[in-house]
Amino acid sequence: MQFLSAEPQLFVADMARSLAFYCEKLGFELELSYGDPLFYAQVARGGAALNLRLVAGPVFDASFRAREADPLAATITLDEVDALFAAYRAADVHFHQQLRSERWGARTFIVGDPDGNLILFAGRC
């Protein structure tokens, strides 16, 4: 048995805002959308897919954010992390963590979406 992929589900409070962020700012493409009104969507870029699920109210409460420094919702690995970081910087994306080299041999940065979901992008040093 071989696992083929993973598709993290992210909770969002405003689907239109989230789709604009992932598609226009991060370069993902809308793969599917469901519901009238829209409450579920999938965005993808290359081999990475993220599922967006509409929820009522804020996604994270303030006490959770105060307790947890980096609650990652997803990790996306890629070959040219420095180039992607530069492209996102040019697109004025909000970084939760700037590009850095990790002790375990990876280069990483973290992007925060409009609902506070944190996506880690990682590549080799």
Q: 13: domain CATH number?
A: 3.10.180.10
* 2 within domain boundaries: no
* 52 within domain boundaries: yes
Number of domains in the chain: 1
Could you tell me the pTM of the whole model? 0.93
pLDDT score for 119:
97
* 91 within domain boundaries: yes
Average confidence (pLDDT) over 112-119: 94
* 61 within domain boundaries: no
* 3 within domain boundaries: no
pLDDT score for 118:
96
Residue 77 belongs to what domain range? 9-56+70-124
- pLDDT confidence band for 80 (50 / 70 / 90): very high
Beta strands in 27-67 (DSSP E): 29-34, 40-45, 48-54
Q: How many CB atoms are closer than 10 A to CB 118?
A: 20
